[in-house]
Structure 1
């Protein structure tokens, strides 16, 4: 699914998660647990929106437990030529399945 994105703007729609985004999110589980002072039984990205800056900022909806237990995470993915690793920038907890992913 193609998304509409203005340079520096946030995608207009959430999109399904690719295997690359899923792997990136999975690698950030320990950082999210530490940031929120929680342990997650599940940590699976289900949708996301992106913003192109000097790299990519991904706003990702992640299911973190049984039932309707979700968080939103903000991940910075540096440009490939920098050889930097994705980093967790921020989290929002107490989210539900149908909560819109927005800038935070």
Structure 2
């Protein structure tokens, strides 16, 4: 089943690709949240197909705290670069991933 353009996908468990995105975005997230994260482990994510892909990722940052990242991945024809669009911090482990 193809995702609906503009809508969020079903929740999925984070995989190696999503963790790699988080690893690349960690320094940007720390700057934006004005803190340092000892742990930065992707838990789950949703995607949104736009002119590229938005990743909405729940990342465990220690104890019961999470951060939600919105990362934009450009289309390969535009370089496929990653960009941290926004974040929500702090979030609880139980908080659902929603569009922001």
- Root-mean-square deviation (Å): 1.3
Q: How far apart, in 2, do the equivalents of 1:91 and 1:7 lie?
A: 22
Q: How far apart, in 2, do the equivalents of 1:4 and 1:61 lie?
A: 23
- 1:17 counterpart = 2:10: no
> TM-score when scaled to structure 1?
0.90
- 1:28 counterpart = 2:25: yes
Higher-strand-fraction structure = 2
| Match of residue 60 from structure 2 | 63
5+ residue gaps, structure 2? none
Superposition deviation, residue 26 in structure 1: 0.6
5+ residue gaps, structure 1? none
| Match of residue 92 from structure 1 | 88
> TM-score when scaled to structure 2?
0.94
Moved over 4 A (4+): none
Aligned residues: 100
